[in-house]
Amino acid sequence: NVDDTKRYAGALGDPARMAANFAGVIAGNDSRNDIVVRGNSPSGMLWQMEGINIPNPNHFGSLTSTGGPVSILNNNNLAKSDFLTSAFPAQYGNGLSGVFDLSLRNGNNEKREYLGQVGFNGFEVGAEGPFSKTDPKKGSFLFNYRYSTLGIFNKLGIQFGTGNAVPNYQDINFKINLPLSSKVTLSAFGMGGLSDVKFEGNKEDTTGKNLYGSENENTRVDYGTGIAGVSLDIQTSARSNLKLTTGVSATKENFEGDSISTETRVAFLSGTARFRTQRYSFNGQYVYKVNARNSINAGFYNDVYQFNLFNKNVYQGQYDVINVNRDGSWYLGQAYVQWKHRFTNRLSVTPGVHAQYTTQGTAFAIEPRIAARYNISENQSINVGYGLHHQMQSAYTYSVETRNADGSINLSNKNLDFTRSQHFVIGTERLLTSNTTLKAEAYYQFIDRAPITKSDNPGSYSALNTGNSFAPDDEADLVNKGLAENYGIEVTLERTFTKGFYYLVTGSLFDSKYKGSDGVWRNTAFNTGYAANALVGKEWTVGKEKQNVLAFNIKFSAIGGRYLTPIDLQASQALEKSVQDEEHAFSQKQTEYFRTDIKLSYRREFKKSTLEFSLDLQNVTNHQNVFTTQYNRRTNSLVTQYQ
pLDDT tens string 593-619:
999 999 999 999 999 999 999 999 999
Per-residue pLDDT, averaged over 53-76, amounts to 89
Between CA 558 and CA 528 the distance in angstroms is 10
Query: What residues contact residue 414 under an 8 Å CB cut-off, 6+ apart?
Result: 360, 361, 398, 399
Predicted TM-score (pTM) of the model is 0.92
Between CA 461 and CA 516 the distance in angstroms is 6
Task: Quote the mean pLDDT of the chain.
Answer: 91
Signed CA dihedral, 263, 266, 267, 269: sign only: negative
Between CA 513 and CA 516 the distance in angstroms is 10
Between CA 397 and CA 393 the distance in angstroms is 6
Asked which of 89-98, 185-194, 316-325, 329-338 is least confident by mean pLDDT, the reply is 316-325
Residues 304, 305, 306, 311: what is their CA dihedral angle, to the nearest 10 degrees? Answer: -170
Query: What residues contact residue 508 under an 8 Å CB cut-off, 6+ apart?
Result: 23, 24, 26, 38, 488, 489, 490, 491, 530, 531, 532
Per-residue pLDDT, averaged over 369-388, amounts to 97
**What is the residue type of 506?**
T
Q: Which of 637, 628, 625 is nearest to 591 (CA)?
A: 625
Burial of residue 155, with CB atoms counted within 10 A of its CB: 0-12 exposed, 13-18 middle, 19 or more buried:
exposed
Q: Which of 274, 257, 163, 253 is nearest to 216 (CA)?
A: 257
Question: How many CB atoms are located within 10 Å of the residue 237 CB?
Answer: 11
- Is residue 383 within 8 Å of 415, Cβ to Cβ? no
Between CA 157 and CA 153 the distance in angstroms is 6
What's the pLDDT tens digit per position in 498-520?
999 999 999 999 999 999 999 99
